[in-house]
């Protein structure tokens, strides 16, 4: 659930989502769900001329399974916090496997 | 059943697209335009009054497809069609026979180019995979 929580913090930011068919879409992140499906607002397709069918689309829903990359703007990402969260998640998984109650999230 | 909303959030994100005209892009590259009538958490979709739209260059053609049920795994993207920009597109509609003919020619041209490219790569010692791979 870490990446889901992370992407939730990015709602409202400008992102570029690159799909596995090389289509890259830039837009404002509107919402994300647990499959990492994305909804983007006010989209602009990178290299529009190659994708005429996207010209009349303003808002779109992208299925998580077809996403290759998500490009974010660096100032919006706190990598130290992410690293910390990854450690905490690993720790609590380990404790659960050992049958101890998970430590309360700090 | 308090867990339902939490684990079924695709529902929330598509609910406002219901009964709207949508463009659905499928994994095989097809573009379907229709009115979204139903869906579920896998993005399985039911479209009514659907059209398959084929684009070649700056031209397009439509084939009527009626009610279309799409298995979710084949969905790449759903786009809401903006009526204003749709009417002012720099594209021209052609009869479907013409578009299909153009599509065939485009595919033949691509096959010819690919063959040439593969031959050149093969000569230089690269291994070439001839099977049409699914990008996804």
Residue A42, in any domain of the structure: yes
Chain B positions in Cβ-Cβ contact with residue A33 (cut-off 8 Å)? 9-10, 12-13
Asked, for residue B5, whether it belongs to a domain, the answer is: no
- Does A54 reside within a domain? yes
pLDDT of residue A102: 53
Q: Is B133 inside a domain boundary?
A: no
Residue A54 phi/psi, 5-degree rounding, is: -90, -5
Q: Measured between CB atoms, does B60 come within 8 Å of chain A?
A: yes
Q: Do A65 and B60 touch (CB under 8 A)?
A: no
Q: Any chain A CB within 8 A of the CB of B5? A: no
Residue A105 lies in a domain: no
Q: Name the closest residue on chain A to residue B75, using Cα atoms.
A: A63
A33 assigned to some structural domain: yes
The answer to the question of residue A104 being in a domain is no
Q: What is the pTM of this model?
A: 0.86
Alpha-carbon separation of residue B121 from A50, B109, B110, B113 (angstroms): 26, 18, 16, 12
> Which residues are paired to B56 by β-bridges?
B59
Assess if residue A106 is contained within a domain: no
- Count up the domains in chain A and report the number: 1
As a whole-number percent, the residues of chain A with pLDDT over 90 amount to 81
Other C-beta atoms within 10 Å of B133: how many?
A: 7
For chains A and B, count residue pairs whose Cβ atoms are closer than 8 Å.
83
Do the domain assignments include residue A86?
yes
Residue B1 inside a domain? The answer is no
User: By the CB < 8 Å criterion, does B136 face chain A?
Assistant: yes
Q: How many structural domains are present in chain B?
A: 1
Q: Which residues of A touch B (CB under 8 A)?
A: 19-23, 31, 33-35, 37, 39, 52-63, 65-66
pLDDT tens digit sequence for B112-134: 999 999 999 999 999 887 676 67
Q: How far apart are CA B79 and CA A76, in angstroms?
A: 27
Domain that holds residue A64: 2-96
Q: What is the CATH number of the domain that holds B54?
A: 2.30.30.100
pLDDT score for B82: 86
Residue A55 vs residue B12, higher pLDDT? A55
B67: containing domain? 10-124
Q: What is the CATH number of the domain that holds A88?
A: 2.30.30.100
What would the mean pLDDT of A48-63 be, rounded to a whole number? 93
Residue B128 confidence (pLDDT): 81
From the candidates B25, B55, B136, which should be mutated to test the interface with A, based on the most A CB atoms within 10 A? Answer: B25
Q: Is residue B79 part of a domain?
A: yes
User: Is the pLDDT higher at B7 or at A58?
Assistant: A58
* pLDDT tens column, B54-113: 999 999 999 999 999 999 999 999 999 988 888 888 899 999 999 999 999 999 999 999
């Amino acid at each position: 659930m870490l990446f889901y929580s992370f992407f939730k913090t990015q709602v409202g930011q400008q992102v570029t989502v690159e799909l596995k068919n090389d289509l890259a879409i830039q837009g404002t992140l509107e919402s994300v769900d647990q499959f990492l499906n994305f909804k983007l607002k006010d989209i602009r397709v990178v290299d529009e001329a190659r994708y005429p069918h996207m010209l009349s689309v303003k808002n779109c829903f992208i299925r998580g399974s077809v996403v290759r990359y998500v490009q974010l703007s660096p100032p919006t990402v706190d990598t130290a916090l992410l690293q910390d969260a990854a450690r905490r998640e690993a720790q609590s998984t380990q404790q659960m496997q050992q049958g101890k109650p998970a430590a309360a999230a700090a | 059943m308090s867990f339902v909303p939490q684990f079924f959030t695709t529902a929330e994100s598509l609910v406002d697209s219901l009964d709207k005209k949508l463009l659905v892009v499928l994994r095989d590259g097809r573009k379907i335009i229709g009115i979204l009538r139903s869906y579920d958490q896998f993005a399985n979709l039911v479209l009514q009054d659907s059209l398959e739209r084929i684009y070649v260059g700056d031209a397009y053609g439509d084939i009527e497809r009626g009610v279309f049920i799409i298995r979710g795994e084949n969905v790449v993207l759903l786009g809401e069609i903006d009526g204003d920009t749709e009417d002012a597109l720099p594209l021209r509609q052609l009869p479907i026979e013409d578009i299909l003919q153009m599509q065939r020619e485009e595919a033949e041209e691509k096959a010819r180019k690919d063959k040439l490219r593969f031959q050149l790569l093969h000569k230089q010692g690269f291994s070439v995979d001839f099977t049409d791979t699914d990008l996804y």
